[in-house]
Amino acid sequence: MELQYGADRLGKRYDADMQKFRENRLGAFIHWGLYAIPGGEWDGKIYNGAAEWLKAWAKVSVKDWLQLIKQWNPQKFDAKKWAKMAKDMGVRYVKITTKHHEGFCLWPSKFTEYTVANSPYKKDILGELVKAYNEAGIDVHFYFSVMDWSHPDWRSNIKTKEDEAAFQRFLTFTDNQLKELATRYPTVKDFWFDGTWDESIKKNGWWTAHVERMLKELLPGVTINSRLRADDYGKRHFDSNGHLMGDYESAYERRLPDPVKDLRVTKWDWEACMTIPENQWGYHKDWSLSYVKNPVEVLERIVHAVSMGGNMVVNFGPQADGDFRNEEKELAKVIGKWMQKNGECIYACDYAGWEKQDWGYYTRKKNCVYMIVFNRPYSQQLAIKVPKETQITKATLLNGEKLEVIETARNEYNVGVPKQDFHEPFVIRLEIKSSKETANKYHEALT
């Protein structure tokens, strides 16, 4: 059907900026705002919901919540240290919450008083972070919540003429803040919109299309997630014709796509994001309230995402003092050590299209297919089924050590598990070639 505010483009983008987004593969999320100060506790009660939603759980008024600005003074904040932590972890980009639902801005916005400029800290935190990450060779992405609990003109629905007038003022305010972010920080590579699920946004699909076009005019090449968009009929992420709006699907929040149902063999780009505890994005003082993933579980989600042709963003919720909790520092170190040795199977890799096996995951880059082994089989044999007319010409560890490859049947091979126990998931590099003669060889053997 004819849509005025549907998908601007069919199919994937292949320009250099989108290619870089895709090849980055591993990112980090930073959820940092006033919510880090109470850390999940209000009036002596600890709430086990997401800490960045504490205002809602504890039913705190806007006025009382925003008093927290008076306590915003992260004396241990050191943008260069944050950038080193990200660099050492091997992330290629960092998504920063410029403004979360609470409405507090990490940059000195001219359009609201609820910013760092009016806190005891005063300085432009976002500007310091953009500079430090970029100097470390790390791309910066901006998380931006359209829903803004601090703004008197925010409406979750439009029921009256007054609502309509207020919400149009709100959309102008939001335009101004987005233009401010795009012009103050022109090295930003992506906008990850959130807080767009309400009826008020679904009834203003025109505005979501306008924002995408406005940002792409201000920042040619910038990428924008699908969550911003609503079409003429309020359909979100995918328009009423089933086409993805925005540059990549970002609905995979604390979950991965179903390789068959969701992706239909990766017809679109996508990015997943995950928390280390079950559901804490902002800093929560008590992580014992839910399961906390160990580094190998986090690593498996990263590898699993890349094996399906997507990106993974691991979340960190810095403390109010500007330092990170030890569990997050430790996790970043362990992931970084593994990525230093094995990053070749992640960066610029994609879906291999081979039948998944129990021992782990495949990723692919040009004529190399990588086997990332999470489960060593007792048989000491790693079974592989290759697509028709595909031949494995060599199998090695990433250090070049050759491994035995045995053809066991038509399009099937076994690779011997390396003798040494790596005590962590390990990677095998397969060199492959697709050969017509492979098919003929079997034909002869069968006759």
- Residues that bind ligand JFZ in the complex, under the rule CB under 6 A: 50, 52-53, 194, 251, 253, 273, 281
Which residue type, as a one-letter code, is found at position 234?
G
CA 373, distance to chain mean position in Å, is 23
Nearer to ligand JFZ, 194 or 247 (CB): 194
Residue 250 or residue 363: which is nearer to ligand JFZ going by CB? 250
Q: How many whole angstroms separate alpha carbon 40 and alpha carbon 277?
A: 14
Is 113 in contact with 163 (CB distance < 8 Å)?
no
Instruction: Find, among 223, 168, 164, 167, the residue nearest to 193 by Cα.
Output: 223
Distance CA 91, CA 302 (A): 11
- The rounded distance, in Å, linking the Cα atoms of 340 and 26 is 13
CB of 76 to ligand JFZ, least distance (A): 23
Q: Identify which of residues 50 and 415 has a Cβ nearer to ligand JFZ in the complex.
A: 50
Report helix, strand or coil for 27: strand
Task: Cite the beta strand spans of 263-411 per DSSP E.
Answer: 270-274, 311-316, 360-365, 368-373, 381-385, 390-397, 405-409
CB of 415 to ligand JFZ, least distance (A): 38
Q: Report d(CA 255, CA 302) in Å as an integer.
A: 11
**Distance, CA of 428 to CA of 400 (rounded, Å):** 9
**Amino acid code (one letter) for 191:** F
Residue 99 C-beta: closest distance to ligand JFZ, Å: 11
**Rounded CA Rg of the chain:** 24
CB of 193 to ligand JFZ, least distance (A): 10
Nearer to ligand JFZ, 147 or 372 (CB): 147
Give the nearest distance from C-beta 251 to ligand JFZ in angstroms. 4
> Cβ of residue 207: shortest distance to ligand JFZ, in angstroms?
19
The minimum distance between CB 31 and ligand JFZ, in angstroms, equals 6
Q: Which single residue brings its beta carbon nearest to ligand JFZ? A: 253
49 alpha-carbon distance from chain centroid? 21
Contact 91, 27 (CB under 8 A): yes
Which residue, 153 or 253, is less far from ligand JFZ as judged by CB?
253
What tokens does 87 get? Answer: 């660099």
In whole angstroms, how close is the CB of 126 to ligand JFZ at the nearest point? 16
Of 32, 131, 137, residue with least CA distance to 93: 137
Phi, psi of 301 (to 5 degrees): -70, -35
Is 192 or 354 the residue whose CB approaches ligand JFZ more closely? 192
Give the residue with the Cβ less far from ligand JFZ, 134 or 279. Answer: 279
Nearer to ligand JFZ by Cβ, of 79 and 314: the residue is 314
